[in-house]
Chain A
Amino acid sequence: MTMHRAPRCLMIGLMACLTATEPGAAATPPWLRDLFPSTYRPLPREDTLIVHATILDGVGHRIEDGALLMRDGRIAAVGPHLADAKAHMIDARGRWITPGLIDIHSHDGTYVVPITATDEDASDVSELSDPNAADSWIETAINPQDPAFARALAHGVTTLQVLPGSSPIFGGRSVVLHPIPATTMQAMKVPGAPWGMKMACGENPKSEDAEKRRGPTSREGEIAFIRAAFAKADRYRQAWGRYLAGQGTQPDDDARLDTLAAVLDGRIAVHMHCYRADEMAVMLDLSRALGFRIAAFHHAVEGYKIAPLLARAHVCAAVWSDWWGYKMEALDGIRENAAFIDAAGGCAMMHSDSPFLGQWLNIEAGKAAAAGRRAGLDLPPEHVIGWLTANPARALGQETRIGTLEPGKDADAVIWSAEPFSVYAHADMVFIDGAVAFDRADPHRRPRTDFELGRTPPEAP
């Protein structure tokens, strides 16, 4: 960008500047244009002081008889003794407070319940026309009326990343949402949260391609496909670089290469579906060779076998507590997976991958931590809560905004009826940006989707 052109950009407006077709007018390459900007606004809120709770702050502290002050949608203070005469006060004696849970791997809004034959014929979870669907943005498929959003919210989830499925090798861009009631995706979209890009290795893409008789049919073919795609994207990126430096003509804008170029630029991190340890090790080497960053391996059922390697690479692992065995690459799943990844100094996270588990992330972490404790590891609740909060915030690149109850962060918090990893615990109240998004005791703060309206009774008979 040259100095004399900058004012002109500002004069014609930011969007026009970013999408300019005039040679040399564009200030930035096209791959970070947000075509569907967030219109999210926090729900109506008041400053709130919650007192007499056991607080797990997500940073590693446990505060007995603690208080949490939320002011203007931010965490104002956390501590043993707080006061604010003007704030609405909630007595949470005997109850627990944690940061809002973050589900790093959801398909809500695209795997929409109730599932019907329509989904079997053509699902929105993955775009299947090509093994490279990097040009698909999952946000363009989100159905806000999926009842699974409200179920996730009712069980403590305040932020979730919806990822494309694992049938294509390049699944496309992810989106980060608040699971709040809305009529548009844009109204759920977390402002400023970066996209991720879904990639997949192993059985899923190759079996999809073998079935469709197109694309790679083997693990080695998948790797070759990835190399070729990134090589092409790199040429595209360089062509844009030359153009933006005032040399050469403007390249054609290619939505598929845009996403991959943003990945090579380090502006979009990869969320990599992989099961086996050997496959993850190959992907780590490949990411270094080609210059892309893996934020997290997803599923990673053999993550425990290479826990130190994952920790050294600063790559998180999103895992289940006990899913194993249902396919060949899942045979070696063990319940200590998260705990062993954690013990090596790595970044362990629990994920749902399904609307079913999206409601029980707290129990998932409880099961995984219990297995780790039985294996001799010290895993107190104040540490384990990080698997559902601080660690996924980091993998989303949102660690400065969410994931802990530190002053200045978004006031996303949950009041639990009991120790949050217990099967008996309920999310009593869920706050997003300081607003009550769910209240188990108040029917007017328990969202019901349009789909449920007139179909299912809200209360017991």
Chain B
Amino acid sequence: MIRAARIAALAILAALPPWAQARAADGPVPVIAIVHALAMPVATPPVADATILIAGGHVRSVTTHGPVPPGARRIDARGRIVTPGLFSAATQLGLVEVSGARDTDDRTVSRGPLGPAFDVQYALNGHSSLLPLARADGLAWAMSYPGGTQLAPFAGQGALIHLRPSGDILAHAGAAMVAAMGDIALAPAGGSRAAQWVLLRAALAEARQPPSAHDPASGRILAPVDRVALAPVIAGTMPLLIVANRESDIRQAIRLTRETAIRVVVLGGAEAWRAAADLAAAHVPIILDPEADLLQTFDSLGARLDNAALLAKAGVEIAFSVPGNGIYLSYDAGLDLREGAGIAVANGLPYAAALRAITAAPAAIWGVRGAGTLVSGAGADLVLWDGDPLEPASSPALMFIDGHELSLSTRQSALRDRYAPARPDAPPRDTALPPAYR
């Protein structure tokens, strides 16, 4: 009886969806030792035949042929690559389920008064079906950013998410204030990018002044709630993420950061290579799409595949966000981030810089300490790959977040298993019943 009950309990555990399994696995975990790994800690050079020790949710050490403590769970990497869990510098994960079904889409506010105060932290869905797939492709961290508001040029505030399988994904709200410049967001500004920049500067000036009941000019642009939202931007504690592709807008972003204490990050940057030296001098990081080489709009006429290579060579901090027709941005956020990094390498970016652009660089840009590296004390988010992680044909063999091994099961893998062609070596499957009984 006891045995039967135990088997039944295991069966129930196996039948739980992946996130529930991971939650059930939460709690104290033993020390883990990954041995014979090709470790790529990113912050430090690769280590061949590495022993990686994980305990208490953190990386303890990465050493060549290091000893395995007694009692540790030992995982033989057999020479395969281990990297930090990946970090997408800009996605919309957790904010959209079916982009074509607007009642499942919280990215953009198209009516109502909110501008800078629009804050996506409240919409994050930790059980979105997009998240397990992103995790199964190696993604551990992301900055999820808003699509837009009606108060130009502000799109609202992004949030940092940590793809914990428990569903508790919000790591840090107010990660960035987003302002969209150029042809992607002309309408709310009245049709001109000149208006976008005037509105941005005027709003920042207004937020800088203490509100005055006597001054009729006070509060012309910003509602009180928006003024409060901009305060950390003025103070330099919340980065201003400027979405811009044309060189002129990128140079305006550089000018803004030179004239103020505001920390500016640029997302898009199709023509950033043309301002590479000035971006480096002004310490403005660029989050770019390494797959962009089509002249998608008049703002991107200078798009080229070696953008990443040229910027890195000039000393600009780069990170990647791969929108891929808008689909890769969220629906395949892990896989196609790696593909983009691979394409950057194919077009001249050193491999280490490409790996950094999807790990340590976004962690640095968004101020997440201990993410994106395998240095001692870093959070134990790491991936053992079945091949070269920058080849999209590769996949995680094992993945850990906070030191817990994750299930790599997804809704897609369940569909795959349900409809997989019968294999000759597989036990006969009951084909008399529809797949829904499988």
Contact = CB atoms under 8 A, between A and B. Distances in A.
Interface of A: 113-116, 147-148, 151, 203, 304-305, 307, 322-328, 330-336, 340, 343-344, 354-357, 359-360, 363, 366-367, 369-370, 374-377, 421-426, 451-452, 455-457, 460-461
Output the residue of A114, A360, A425, A461 with the most chain B CB within 10 A. Answer: A114
A370 B394 contact: yes
B270 to A, nearest CB: 11
Contact of B421 (A343, A369, A422, A456): A343
B326 interface: yes
Nearest to A306: B419
A423 B392 contact: yes
Nearest to B327: A323
Nearest to A307: B421
A344 B421 contact: yes
A116 B296 CA distance: 9
A206 to B, nearest CB: 13
Interface of B: 97-101, 129-130, 273-274, 291, 293-298, 300-302, 304, 306, 310, 324-328, 331-332, 335-336, 339, 342-343, 345-346, 390-395, 412, 415-416, 419-421, 423, 435
B101 A328 contact: yes
10 contacts: A113-B296, A114-B300, A304-B419, A325-B129, A334-B415, A343-B421, A360-B291, A367-B335, A423-B393, A424-B345
B296 A203 contact: no
Contact of B98 (A323, A331, A374, A455): A331
B333 to A, nearest CB: 11
Given A332-B415, A370-B394, A422-B393, 12 more contacts: A113-B295, A304-B419, A324-B331, A326-B99, A326-B327, A340-B419, A340-B420, A356-B324, A363-B392, A423-B343, A424-B345, A460-B306
A312 to B, nearest CB: 14
B295 A327 contact: no
Contacts of B130: 325
Contact of B100 (A151, A203, A344, A457): A203
A160 to B, nearest CB: 15
A322 B294 contact: no
Given A327-B98, A370-B395, A148 B294 contact: yes
A324 B412 contact: yes
B412 A335 contact: yes
Contacts of B420: 336, 340, 375-376
B331 A461 contact: no
B392 A366 contact: yes
Contact of A328 (B100, B129, B304, B412): B100
Contacts of A424: 342, 345-346, 391
Given A116-B297, A334-B416, A456-B295, A326 B302 contact: no
Give the residue among B273, B301, B326, B392 with the most A Cβ atoms within 10 A.
B392
Nearest to A327: B100
B343 A116 contact: no
B434 to A, nearest CB: 11
A331 B297 CA distance: 29
Nearest to B423: A376
Nearest to B299: A114
Contacts of A461: 273-274, 310
B393 A367 contact: yes
Contacts of B294: 113, 147-148, 151, 355-356, 359
A45 B190 CA distance: 54
A323 B99 CA distance: 13
A424 B339 CA distance: 10
Closest 3 CB pairs of A and B: A327-B100, A423-B342, A370-B393
Contacts of A340: 419-421
Contacts of B291: 356, 360
A307 B293 CA distance: 35
Nearest to B412: A334
**Which of B302, B327, B336 is packed against the most chain A CB atoms within 10 Å?**
B327
Determine which residue in A334, A377, A422 has the highest number of CB atoms from chain B within 10 A of its CB, and name it.
Answer: A334
A426 B325 CA distance: 22
A116 B393 contact: no
